Amino acid sequence: MPCNPNASEEVKAVMTFLSEVAGKGLITGQHTQTRDQKELGYIQEVTGKLPALCGFELLSYSPNINYEDSGEECLVEVEENKNTLEKAWDWVLNQKGLITFAWHWFSPIGGRDKSFYTEFTDYDASQAVIEGTVEHQALISDMDHIAEILKEFRDKRIPLLWRPFHEAEGTWFWWGAKGPDVARKLYRIMYERYTNVHHLDNLIWVWNSPLKEGYPGDEVVDVISRDLYPPKRKHTALKPEYEELIQITPVSKVTALGEIGVTPNISEVAANGIPWAWYMIWSKEYGSTDVWTSEKVLYATYHHEYAITLDKLPRLY
């Protein structure tokens, strides 16, 4: 059952599907963050298929992007990401695929360039979790801004795999810079606000860290996940990584590879019954070239009987 007691029927249907498929199949996923979505075109060209799950990025929808003090790389990334919500709508309404959102959140105040990175902002997440501070007010303001975007999907009864504060175990993003306990508090603040204030009952809550310390609690998490970047063309079942991840809670949760640089070895995953529900290859060269995963392996993965591709995805909403 979803952690949100008021979760929509569509969320319940997706959660049931994820629970039932884990250990019996592997949902194929691909992240995209640009309007042209080269990754999807590449996969279709090589395999003749599309992933069942598509990832989208909300970075350009951050309210506090410092355009005046950003480098060319940052500005290009923001520009390429603009209006990608149109592609997200096409994916769910026309392709009928599953969807997940990530948010490289430009710091709510302060910062320059890619200020979702700790090195480019002095925004203090440890102050942001304290009510009454300027940092907290800015945090809530940004959350509310994105909530309005998510409400459009709610109103159309579209369930979203929502993966906020990703890679919370690291210090490279501002939300992890002050340690896992602060990241835990940030997540719980968002959960409470999105569930009890904005009534975003279309969200499936995905926690993204393998650390037991900082886990926000079973009552606010639907799926546990982690991000992994093995060496180029090294494909395994990721069994040790799975066993480490499930140590963060004694409760059986749906498990997923929130980001990965190469396809898992789907034959080994199937043979060992490792219940990853989905994997999601990251964008750009990870998903649109053969640098990390060869065309031969990509084709074999998408045509494996264990793989759940878009054409094998049941109608869930």
The span from the CA of 106 to the CA of 69, in Å, is: 13
Q: Is the confidence at residue 317, as pLDDT, over 90?
A: no
Distance of CA 302 to the CA centre of its chain: 21
Whether the model pTM is above 0.95: yes
For the stretch 110-136, pLDDT in tens is: 999 999 999 999 999 999 999 999 999
In this structure, what DSSP letter does residue 233 have?
A: T
Task: Give the residues across from 26 on adjacent strands.
Answer: 307
Q: Is the confidence at residue 27, as pLDDT, over 90?
A: yes
For the stretch 58-89, pLDDT in tens is: 999 999 999 999 999 999 999 999 999 999 99
Sorting pLDDT into bands at 50, 70 and 90, what band is 198? very high
Tokens of 145: 């801004």
Q: Mark whether 167 is an active-site residue.
A: yes
Q: Please tell us whether the domain made up of 9-312 is placed in CATH 3.20.20.80.
A: yes
Catalytic residue among 135, 259, 285, 305: 259
Q: Which of 172, 105, 174 is nearest to 141 (CA)?
A: 105
Q: What percentage of the chain has pLDDT greater than the value 90?
A: 100
- The total of other beta-carbon atoms located within 10 Å of residue 181's CB is 13
* Per-position b or e across 30-64, b if 16+ CB within 10 A of its CB: bbbbbeebebbebbeebbebbbbbbbbbbbbbbeb
Sign of CA dihedral 312, 94, 34, 45: positive
Q: Is the confidence at residue 256, as pLDDT, over 90?
A: yes
For the stretch 125-179, pLDDT in tens is: 999 999 999 999 999 999 999 999 999 999 999 999 999 999 999 999 999 999 9
Domains of the chain, by residue range, sit at: 9-312
For the stretch 207-227, pLDDT in tens is: 999 999 999 999 999 999 999
Catalytic residue among 39, 57, 167, 241: 167
